[in-house]
């Protein structure tokens, strides 16, 4: 991940790490809470799956932003090459 602005690159990397932390925390918390209350492993695994979905949504959102930013950078490079020719 190489963005044109180094500050933006650091911010995006930090937010991506936070999103992955939410994935892990959500899955572990939902699993432990559900397993402690119901004592059924299948329900606990299903709860863990639903617990990690919000974090995965944020990961996908940030990755989508990076993909769009990469496309914009490539288009700008092609425009600069076209102008120089």
Nearest by Cα to 54 from 35, 37, 29: 29
Distances in whole angstroms, Cα of residue 9 to Cα of each of 42, 55, 62, 69, 77: 40, 20, 12, 11, 18
Residue 13 lies in a domain: yes
Q: 1 pLDDT band (50/70/90 cuts)?
A: low
Residue 60 lies in a domain: yes
What is the domain range of residue 20?
6-84
pTM tops 0.85: no
Summarize pLDDT for 13-46 with one digit per residue, the tens. 999 999 999 999 999 999 999 888 878 899 899 9
CA Rg value for the chain: 19
- The residue behind tokens 């402690």 is 36
Residue 1 lies in a domain: no
The pLDDT of residue 15 is 93
């Amino acid at each position: 991940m190489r963005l044109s602005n180094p500050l933006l690159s650091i911010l995006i990397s930090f937010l991506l790490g936070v999103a992955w932390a939410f994935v892990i925390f959500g899955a572990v918390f939902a699993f432990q809470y559900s397993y402690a209350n119901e004592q059924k492993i299948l329900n606990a695994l299903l709860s863990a799956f639903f617990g990690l979905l919000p974090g995965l949504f944020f990961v996908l959102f940030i990755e989508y932003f990076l993909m769009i930013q990469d496309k914009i950078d490539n288009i700008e490079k092609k425009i600069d090459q076209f102008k120089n020719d």
